[in-house]
Amino acid sequence: MEELKQRILKDGIVLNNSVIKVDKFLNHQLDITLLDNIGSEFYHHFMDQEITKILTIEASGIAVATLTALYFNVPVVFARKSESITHPEDKYSADVYSFTHEKQFNIFVSREYLKPGDKILVIDDFLANGQALLGMARIVHEAGATLVGAGIVIEKSFQDGGKLVRDAGINVFSLARIKNMSDSGITFL
Ligand code: G4P
């Protein structure tokens, strides 16, 4: 998505060779017009798939998932994160290891909000190591729902997640795929 790539080049701050800060439009301040256009891109890609729900993960996925859901006219469910090891019976849950935070999270969704027969589109802001997406895929599977695909705003293609999730059979559609980045610039696939 050209508009997004240009915005990353303009406002993205490369913190080191593996982390990019996009607080100006995606992770802290939200550019709603850009997010609306992103929602439209996801809609046009997945519009024929009879999506019944959008699933994301708190916190940064929620805004982009919400604007996307307006196009599909379906609810957004966001997986919640807890560090608790208690898994109440009425929740689907998955353990997710974050390489960035070097920490294990438990993510969960109430059974009330995912049902067999649901056709789920996962939306998230970043695809890095793929663990969050794989965790959400496990939750969808546990619910007996169908994971139609995943719409990702920024994929860091130099990290392992993209290959991992595609090898797992997930239909991933990323709007900007960063090939590499450094102080001297960002290149896209
Ligand atoms: P993974 O989900 O793909 O395995 O990635 P990882 O655990 O490494 O990512 C941990 C968190 O860091 C995620 O947010 C992810 O969105 C974010 N992240 C990963 N790479 C980048 C990056 O280069 N730039 C920025 N800005 N974020 C990145 P989170 O911990 O769930 O936090 P949040 O959603 O509450 O913001």
CA atoms within 13 A on the CB side of 137: 17
Query: How far, in Å, is the centroid of ligand 1 from the Cα of 121?
Result: 19
- Tens of pLDDT, residues 115-137: 999 999 999 999 999 999 999 99
Atom number of ligand 1 nearest to Cα 132: 2
Q: What is the CATH number of the domain that holds 115?
A: 3.40.50.2020
Nearest alpha carbon, ligand 1 atom 2: 132
Mean of all residue pLDDT scores within the chain: 95
The range of the structural domain enclosing residue 86 comes to 2-188
Q: What pTM, to 2 d.p., does this model score?
A: 0.95
Split at pLDDT 50, 70, 90, the class of 84 is low
Number of domains in the chain: 1
Nearest alpha carbon, ligand 1 atom 16: 126
- Tens of pLDDT, residues 17-33: 899 999 999 999 999 99
Cβ of 59 closer than 6 Å to ligand 1, yes or no, is yes
Cβ of 21 closer than 6 Å to ligand 1, yes or no, is yes
Enumerate the β-bridge partners of residue 61.
none
Output the six-digit token pair for 121: 């589109």
Cβ of 70 closer than 6 Å to ligand 1, yes or no, is no
For Cα atoms 162, 167, 169, give the angle at the middle one, nearest 5 degrees: 105
